[in-house]
Structure 1
Amino acid sequence: MTVQKKVIFALITGMLLAAAGCSSNSWEQKKTQQISKVQPKFEIVQAKTINLKVIQGIGFPGNDNALYVASDKGLKIFKDSKWYETTADLNNYLGFQAIETGFLASGHPRKGTDLKDPLGLVESTDKGKTLKNIAFYGKNNFHFISASFSGKDIYVLNEQQDKDLNYGVNYSTDDGKTWKKSTLKNFKSDSLGMIAVHPKNGDIMAMATRAGIYYSEDNGNTMKLTAGPFMVTALTFSGDRILYSSVVENYNILLNTANPKTGEQGNIAIPFLDQDNPITYIAVNPKNENQIAFTTYKNDLYESLDRGKNWSTLLKDGKIEQE
């Protein structure tokens, strides 16, 4: 089992992550610098087969009309009903987060490069052809990264205390130059999980936990339970609404919506999922909120272009074949 799946499985099975005991911290990052060279053999080509053992994030970057899938074998791209992949820079991406200019990620570089391992927090605006150092390069890996669509407001979940970054939720409001710890006041869950950030207001964030969704309008410094109590395995924002997956009585797997400002709740019909195949990632296209995608623990990928009225299966068990 991969590290990423261990983190998700830990949330599902109840591994506890303490949420207290660390003081606020500000850390000055050196000037952003380019950390990978353009490789002449880098191309985006149509993929005849896809066979993914691990899916580690999905999203709709604002600089491309496509759905991106992050994996331990680099990026896979679904566009115009066809699958594409890169011929180089097949990095093991963790914490994938689509933003307006491309994507943010963490993880490990592919073997044979001069990149430091771990990647820390990096950004790409050219489909992974080049990576830009945002913070913690060569120092940290983050399984959970989230950001506003602009990419200016960034949140990371640090799973261990170190000299550069506190344990727990940390955030930056200046493109990763400085960082502070979220104090999580009124947070009462016994687990930390996936983070989602409002696409337009980076002060607003939410977190998936075993006890439900905790919501904040001040960078996670003050938290409020806005949906629950039940296990939430994945979430994202769709405008002001939170789109999330819950596991409820009899292990039914649902896709729901919640508006923390109005209290409105809703449900989106999805294909039937076995109890051992919960939803792991959800993505909404900020430029078209009717376009939704989600993945499952067994690496299935579904997409809807009409906000859940109809669904297409893009991957089954991480696989698909094309002529």
Structure 2
Amino acid sequence: MKVQMKVMMAILTGILLIASGCSNKSEDTKKTNQEKKAETNANFEIVETKSFKVKNIRGIGYPGNDHALYLAANDGLKMYSDGKWTKTTMNQHDYIGFQALESGFLSSGHPQKGTGFSDPLGLIQSTDKGETLRKLAFYGKTNFHFIAASFAGDGLYVISEQPNDALDLGVNYSTDNGGTWNKSAFKDFNADSLGMIAVHANNGAIMAMSTRSGIYYSTDNGNTMKLITEPFMVTALTFTGDSILFSSVENDKILLSTVNPTSGEKKSITFPYLDYDNPITYLTVNPKNTNQMAFTTYKNDLYESMDGGKNWRNLIKDGKTEQE
């Protein structure tokens, strides 16, 4: 069915990536003349924006070095805090695979034209709200749609489509910020699809994956996996403390719940009604305040709650927002 295909796309976008090759060598820290010139001429600021429209939402999160909710779009970062939206004036990259960290954020993607960065960005990290980018691995070689990282731990995960000297096919993890990589064995993983990965905020060895047949959970970097839910379709997930906040599609309804991986206890979370063809695509919880959470949808809606899901505010509708 057409509606079911839309739901599938919301889960599977980016799993089968266009192969662009990878390298296991450390990235060259020397900058090209073009990069130096671009950075010299750049005028990076974070400015308030009254209204904007985003075409593609690439991820959301709460970086630990700021107080804002970050939204990564195809045209750079948007930040929401204290009832106001701000954006960066430079480095408006297509931040694919955006992940919030305690020190800032991690991402892949494609650079803004004219900034002098190589395309694709590989794995890059920023600790100053996107003003400067540190190249971790695969710079100019690979774009990763699915990335996951521990907020304060040392677990970093990517899904690789094509094996090479550094990465095996499927899920790979690094415990040294992208310096070296290992293949996740995925023992006892019986799903017919790979999906979104979530990593425990403080323990990078603990991860979970959404699939079309439930959530699989691991305490050893994905080497052994355990199904911890019933076999329903899960479109998005994130850790909230030791539990997992996730969205599922069951009996033609979109649901939001938490599950305790150890006990299996499941609790429902109230949230605004969503049409079946508008599933939740990204979920985030602030590790420093688990009552603060947000989600996006297939149709580029963004909702945020400050009280653990009791009340929600619609920040973006159909990719658009306007402030009076």
TM-score of the aligned structures, taking structure 2 as reference length: 0.90
Give the secondary-structure state (helix, strand or coil) at the position aligned to 2:9: helix
* In 2, Cα distance between equivalents of 1:295 and 1:34: 38
Displacement of 1:227 = 1.1
Question: What corresponds to 2:312 in structure 1?
Answer: 311
* In 1, Cα distance between equivalents of 2:97 and 2:83: 25
Amino acid at match of 2:269: I
Consecutive unaligned residues in structure 1, runs of 5 or more: 1-5, 18-26
Q: Is residue 194 of structure 1 aligned with residue 200 of structure 2?
A: no
Q: Deviations over 1:172-226 (max 9, x none)?
A: 0111111001010000000001000001111100000000000000000000001
Question: What corresponds to 1:45 in structure 2?
Answer: 47
Instruction: Indicate how the Cα distance of structure 1 residues 261 and 291 shifts in structure 2: closer, same or farther if over 3 A, else same.
Output: same
Stretch deviating more after TM superposition (277-286 or 44-53) = 44-53
Question: What corresponds to 1:296 in structure 2?
Answer: 297
Q: Alignment RMSD, CA only? A: 2.2
Q: Is residue 30 of structure 1 aligned with residue 32 of structure 2?
A: no
* In 1, Cα distance between equivalents of 2:185 and 2:82: 43
Instruction: Indicate how the Cα distance of structure 1 residues 178 and 169 shifts in structure 2: closer, same or farther if over 3 A, else same.
Output: same
Instruction: Indicate how the Cα distance of structure 1 residues 14 and 153 shifts in structure 2: closer, same or farther if over 3 A, else same.
Output: closer
Q: Deviations over 1:119-153 (max 9, x none)?
A: 11000111111110111111111111111112521
Consecutive unaligned residues in structure 2, runs of 5 or more: 17-22
| Deviation beyond 3 Å, 4+ runs, structure 1 | 6-17, 31-40
Percent sequence identity over aligned pairs: 60
Displacement of 1:168 = 0.6
Instruction: Indicate how the Cα distance of structure 1 residues 57 and 116 shifts in structure 2: closer, same or farther if over 3 A, else same.
Output: same
* In 1, Cα distance between equivalents of 2:152 and 2:7: 26
Instruction: Indicate how the Cα distance of structure 1 residues 86 and 218 shifts in structure 2: closer, same or farther if over 3 A, else same.
Output: same
Displacement of 1:14 = 11
Q: Deviations over 1:154-178 (max 9, x none)?
A: 0111123334321110000111111
Question: What corresponds to 1:10 in structure 2?
Answer: 9
Where do residues 35-114 of structure 1 align in structure 2 (5 Å cutoff)? 37=39, 40-114=42-116
Question: What corresponds to 2:263 in structure 1?
Answer: 262
Q: Is the 8 A contact 2:97 2:107 kept in 1?
A: yes
* In 1, Cα distance between equivalents of 2:13 and 2:202: 32
Instruction: Indicate how the Cα distance of structure 1 residues 271 and 39 shifts in structure 2: closer, same or farther if over 3 A, else same.
Output: farther
Displacement of 1:305 = 0.3
Give the secondary-structure state (helix, strand or coil) at the position aligned to 2:228: strand
1:154 equivalent among 150, 153, 156: 156
Question: What corresponds to 2:206 in structure 1?
Answer: 204
Aligned length, in residue pairs: 308
Instruction: Indicate how the Cα distance of structure 1 residues 220 and 126 shifts in structure 2: closer, same or farther if over 3 A, else same.
Output: same
Give the secondary-structure state (helix, strand or coil) at the position aligned to 2:224: coil
